[in-house]
Chains A and B, each alone.
Chain A
Amino acid sequence: MKLLKLVPDDTNIKFLNLRIPFFVLSLVLILGSWTAVAVNGLNFGVDFAGGQEVRMTFEKRETAPIASLRELVGGLGYGEPVVQEFGGPKTVSIRVALPEGTEDTPGAATAIGEKVIAAITKEYPDARKDGNDTVSGKVAGEFRDQAILALLAAMAAVSIYIWVRFEWQFGVGAMFALVHDVSVTVGLFALTQMEFSLQIVAAILAIIGYSLNDTVVVYDRIRENLKKFRKMPLPELLDLSVNETLSRTVMTSLALFLALIPLLIFGPPSLFGMVAAITVGLFIGIYSSVYLAGPLLIWMGVTSDSFVPTESPADRQEKVARGEA
């Protein structure tokens, strides 16, 4: 039986020849993402913005009547609502801000949600109520703080792990690759204005884990090759390592991709944002482990000495004394 080989034997792509252009591109992507976040802002869902969010599905229609819903809910007198597609064309999320001062009057906020739902079901009797979230401003603020803390803690912790298991240069390289992955993913959400919720932060934390998988595999091979080929120039050695692990990278990414795509197409609409983030993050992660995590090692001066013990000055003196050197 002839077995499938996605990456031909003896593939030797000179990835690292293009390291400078791609490094510049990465920097541009990072800065561009930050700019997108600063200019567009993130479309925070109810988790982070606070307020009242109602989700409804219009099963009998091709698409949810977003424009008329906006008018309908806007006419209720709770300010301008955010009405948008949620994971699929038939499902919408409708968000209204909490009125000032409702922190101290329990029930006032959720009463708004009830009124919104009542108004919609009156106009569209076949609309299905999927859910209804109320998050106070205080809790939303806590979610924001926790999210930032969790992202920073996760990035720091895995980088320290890499530093301990490899060398400090590898830790810095991994950290930089992660900053890139997280920035670009968040930047995409700022660009597309897809809803940014707790689930998306969960997706980014998962990306941190999986993007690092690729980095670890490449680093592991670099470490092995550094010990094996002590005279090989570093760029060549990195290319060798990336090429040797290339078929693994392609296979694993393809497997993950094959599992994620059905979830994206056939899965529950409310998971769409999260799965989309993970899918995109998967590719960003592969790119960064080849073009960021690797080349950074060159510029930080990794050598075989990092893993093979060198002569200490004391050993050297001893050798000199014995007349061996």
Chain B
Amino acid sequence: MLEFPLWKKLWLWGLTLAASLLALPSLANVAGLDWPKSLPNPQVNLGLDLAGGSHLLLEAKASDIRAQRLENMEETVRQLMRNAKPRIRIGDVSTGEGRLSFMLDSAADIDRARGLAEPVMQGVNLTREWDLTVVDSQRMVLTPTTAGIDAALDDAMESATEVVRRRIDELGTREPTIIRQGATRIVVQVPGLEDPEALKSLLGQTAQLEFKLVDLNALPENVQAGIAPPGSEVFPYAPGTPMEGRYEAVRRLGGIRGDNLTGAQAGVDPTDNQSVVNITFDAQGGAKFAKLTRENTGKPFAIILDGQVLSAPNINEPILGGSAQISGSFTPESANSLAIALRSGALPVPLTVVEERTVGPDLGADSIRKGLLAMAIGSIAVIALMLATYGRFGVYATIALVFNVLMLLGLMALGNFTLTLPGIAGFVITIGAAVDANVLINERIREERKRGRKVIAAVETGYKEAGRAIYDANATNFISGVALFAFGSGPVKGFAVVLVIGLFTSVFTGVTLTRMFVAGWLRKTRPNDISI
């Protein structure tokens, strides 16, 4: 029990010092000292509640993704049937109840139609994304499978996360954290960003740009009442445009999306000094745009952003160069924001902010200062208590306590963990609770001495008998720490991290290190009596 061969001593000291040294860069940082650049620099991250900044939780509406998938499938099916030779005529197309259903004009075409549709029911990696059924020998019903929906959702969230990252990078803020959370959420944390309005307006726009042909056959009074003719849909004009408050009917299909852009820049139209956004299509988008404008020269088309019409100009001539100018009563700021959004790509699904937390930078600095002060006073009080109660054994406990704090900080820096405001409370609680191991051991040694055991035997029994309770007590703390970690969001997770790492460092320093100290002293002096 009290045997410490040299290799073991070296190993223990090495571990202790190595972990403690890892804390130095973070301590230097808090003290405002420069850490030499040539040395490794592991740092404890400061949580947003200490560093100041903004936290946003964005949520995508899964129903939007489902609706969009249905629309895409409708277009695909229409195209397949139209291009079939001979052409398969279909009608009564509906996308209600989350599935696509349509009627064949002739029941004789059913096998051919089925053969055409079957290949698009599979996803990229052979998962079945749609179920195809035939009802009444003439109606085909396409129902998305759960696997298909999940895959689509996953895809959409993956690219939405990427788009969010690109947009935030464009803002030039430092070290944002952008993580997907669960099936439909994205967490965005931007340290130092105190006013998240610009960020939110940037992430708030889907930037889904569409060019759709105006339905010239729609009755104006119906359109203004929001009623769309078959095959068309009605969109309102965007607020701030000259036509605000009015509606435009556009053909549902046959338009193009502004997905294929290589660039978007805010600019000024020299003719009227209005802010505009100049966009450039890639080759594929340019070709589609050229085709659309060539085939519809002389007719108006609507430029629609996120479901609102910006303008509906006439196509005076085919636009073949692959670039276009969007005007829509922009301010220079909104033109710039739209340009960023378009450059970074459209969000595949609209995101809404479901949780937002902003912390001012003064509060964080204030909290750290007050937390450190409280920690210092608390430590001194605990150390005084240990010294007064256990004498020499209290000195060992104090050394263990100092290493405990250093190792805890060092391991947090090594693991790149985040220190949050509740984490500071975790440090203080660890300081108070860490001495429990020493108290248990020392009280046991006292008891054993009282029962008349010799010094060495009393110390040995003390460590051995107390060890069991220490083990069980820390195991239950570990369990509640894990529950805490699983439950918590940001700040609370930071608390859990400190408590759990603190359990390990406390047991190591409070039991193992002090035993080495005590053993060394007993071996050297061989006392007949100890004061404890």
Contacts and interface: CB of A to CB of B under 8 A. Distances in A.
Interface residues of A, number: 80
Interface in B381-422: 381-382, 385-386, 388-391, 421-422
B439 A251 contact: yes
B362 interface: yes
B391 A1 contact: yes
Interface stretch (A60-68, A127-135, A186-194, A303-311): A127-135
Interface string A129-168: 1111111101100010011011101100110011001000
Contacts of B421: 268, 270-271
B385 A134 contact: no
Given A106-B352, A259-B429, A270-B421, A131 B357 contact: yes
A3 B440 CA distance: 17
Contacts of B476: 158, 161-162, 209, 212-213, 216
B458 to A, nearest CB: 15
A274 B479 contact: no
A94 to B, nearest CB: 14
Interface residues on B, range: 35 or more
Nearest to A137: B354
Interface stretch (A19-27, A31-39, A195-203): A195-203
A57 interface: yes
Contacts of A267: 370-371, 373-374, 424-425, 428
Contact of B450 (A9, A251, A259): A9
A216 B433 CA distance: 14
Interface string B172-203: 00000000000000000000000011001100
B436 interface: yes
Interface of A: 1, 3-6, 9, 55, 57, 103-104, 106-107, 109-110, 114, 128-136, 138-139, 143, 146-147, 149-151, 153-154, 157-158, 161-162, 165, 198-199, 201-202, 205-206, 208-210, 212-213, 216-217, 220-221, 224, 244-245, 247-248, 251-252, 254-263, 265-268, 270-271, 274-275, 278
23 contacts: A57-B363, A133-B356, A143-B489, A150-B487, A154-B483, A158-B479, A162-B476, A199-B422, A199-B491, A212-B477, A213-B473, A245-B443, A247-B443, A248-B440, A256-B433, A263-B378, A267-B371, A267-B428, A270-B421, A271-B424, A271-B425, A275-B425, A275-B428
Q: Which 8 pairs from chain A and chain B are nearest by CB?
A: A259-B432, A150-B487, A256-B432, A209-B480, A154-B483, A268-B367, A259-B378, A262-B377
Interface of B: 49, 57, 196-197, 200-201, 204, 351-360, 362-363, 366-367, 370-371, 373-375, 377-379, 381-382, 385-386, 388-391, 421-422, 424-425, 428-429, 431-433, 435-436, 439-440, 443, 446-447, 450, 465, 468-469, 472-473, 475-477, 479-481, 483-484, 486-489, 491-492, 495-496, 499, 531-532
